[in-house]
Amino acid sequence: MPADRQDFADNRTDRPDAAALPRVRDVLDAEVLLRGDPQVLVGGDALDAPVRWVHVSDSDQVAQLLDGGELLLTTAAGWPGADAALRGVVDSLADAGIAGIVMELGARFPVAPPALVAACRSRGLALIALEQVVKFVAVTEAVHRRIIAGQLEALQERQSLHELFTGLTLRGAPADTVVRETARVLGAPVVLETLGREVVTADMRDATVSVVLTDWPARSRIGDGLLAVPVEARGVRWGTLVALPGPAHPAGRTTVLELAATALALARLADGPEAWAELPARELVDAVVNGRHTGADDVAARLHAAGLPVRGRVLSVLIAAGADAADVSALVAAIGAASTGGASTSGRDLDVRALGAVHGGDGVVLVSASVSLAAALLRRASEASGVGLAVGPDVATVAELLASVRPTRLLAARLSAGEVRRVDDRPLTRLVTELGDDHRLQEHSERMLAPLIRHDEQHDGDLVRVLRAVVSHPGSRTAAAAASHLSRSVFYQRIALIADLLGADLDDGETLSALHLALLASGR
């Protein structure tokens, strides 16, 4: 079956849309035709041909009067009886593009000639024999009523679609909303891709991400079974809106996609290219951080479709607490600039792809690189954005990437501006993450920190914050005082109060380790 993917060399807008037309198999359900005891002699896929009109003729030269799509009603009174001549009649009708033949058996042909049946089967042309006499005028009226009713429904559906997509455009709906509504209307997955076949946004409907997006560039390029229209305006094409196979729509699936593509083009003109650039990053980060996925295969398909290859790559996540959109853009730009060469730990040129978004007040950047990111590159990225940067471990699989997000977020919350730390250098942070929500860890945290938490709540205090500075700088009280933004005298007063409330020696290494563990487990 040929693909539905369109060739955009000629942007045709005057082609007929057969979606609203009944099929030959639909016509066979008409009560007036059932009275003729119809027998399907050639059916199968041929019964799916759309019926544009009904024509009645007994002439063997009728083909020259047809425009295509007609259902021919005939007694074949004027048809030849020789096999070769019958094949010639069928060929002329098939070349004219008729939908099918309904032949009333009678004096001329008491039974359908085998040569006629064979010729129709060879040309994929539906052939129905009527055992009983019916009024052809009644059949014509019934079928035409059905055709007109279908066209009216199509007009009503087109009007509804115009209202839907016009409303989305006037409200300034973003691209993901337009794509989601398009998928809902079509009842099938819909993908918006760039000219480079990278996915901007997609709605899966009832399908899974991995089924739809795995190896998307190759699938899109082949186009087998896909229906696609360009997203363009003012002579500039920005991408393609692609629908996967789904049920027929009364207004035509192509019509739905064309109206959606127009809405997307208008939104692109209004919002600029940044709107499309942000969508893949935002959706990917949300899937990774919030767990909005069905598994590692889902995320792998999303990464690859967004232009971040997975196979044979070094994957990592970078998180900057308190970063805004400008900070994230600076991070992504600084890391992406490394692809020009000489920025890897091995001294080899680095092929690095990165995208990021703000999520929950944190800047999150996902990275796919040929080799590990060099410490110098990470420092430059942090300096360019002016934020502290927590660097997740280098991993080879998406499952490991997902597991690395939580410890990286925990570490990011404890960094100051310009500070760069790797999770691999923070074994206690990793331990807390691996233990997860173990109730014993939570009980330890509550037992250790409860006096400080109660004091802070009752006096609007900062003891927990000061304690965090102490455990982060165990070898230097001066550095701890600076991190807590207190004078040395006030800082030491806080230290003494903490020691009294906890009944603990803050110079004891084991005590500090236990308190550090409690702070990490509490997320404070």
Q: Is the pLDDT of residue 48 over 70?
A: yes
The number of beta carbons lying within 10 Å of the beta carbon of residue 347 is 10
Contacts of 424 (CB under 8 A, 6+ apart): 393, 430
Asked which of 134-138, 305-309, 341-345 is least confident by mean pLDDT, the reply is 341-345
Contacts of 232 (CB under 8 A, 6+ apart): 238, 261, 265
CB 71 within 8 A of CB 100: yes
**pLDDT tens profile 441-481:** 778 778 888 888 888 888 888 888 888 888 878 778 888 88
Mean pLDDT rounded to a whole number for the chain: 85
Torsion of CA 133, 135, 141, 144, to 10 degrees: 40
Nearest CA among 175, 197, 179 for reference residue 189: 179
Distance CA 297, CA 215 (A): 12
SS (H, E, C) 281-305: HHHHHHHHHHCCCCCHHHHHHHHHH
- Report the share of the chain in percent with pLDDT over 90: 35
**pLDDT tens profile 423-444:** 877 666 666 655 656 677 778 7
Task: Report strand pairing: 236-243 vs 227-233.
Answer: antiparallel
CATH class of 306-435: alpha beta
Domain segments of the chain as ranges: 36-133, 155-278, 306-435, 439-522
The whole-number pLDDT of residue 336 equals 83
Max intra-chain CA distance, the chain: 118
Phi and psi at 59, nearest 5°, equal -80, 145
185 confidence band (pLDDT: 50, 70, 90): very high
The whole-number pLDDT of residue 434 equals 59
Instruction: Give the helix ranges, DSSP H, for 233-273.
Output: 253-271
Distance CA 408, CA 329 (A): 19
5 confidence band (pLDDT: 50, 70, 90): very low
The whole-number pLDDT of residue 261 equals 95
Q: What is the mean pLDDT of residues 499-510?
A: 84
231 confidence band (pLDDT: 50, 70, 90): very high
Q: Is the pLDDT of residue 108 over 60?
A: yes
**pTM value?**
0.62
The whole-number pLDDT of residue 348 equals 53
Region 36-133: CATH code:
3.40.1390.20
Domain 155-278 annotated CATH 3.30.450.40: yes
CB 312 within 8 A of CB 361: no
The whole-number pLDDT of residue 368 equals 92
CB 393 within 8 A of CB 422: yes
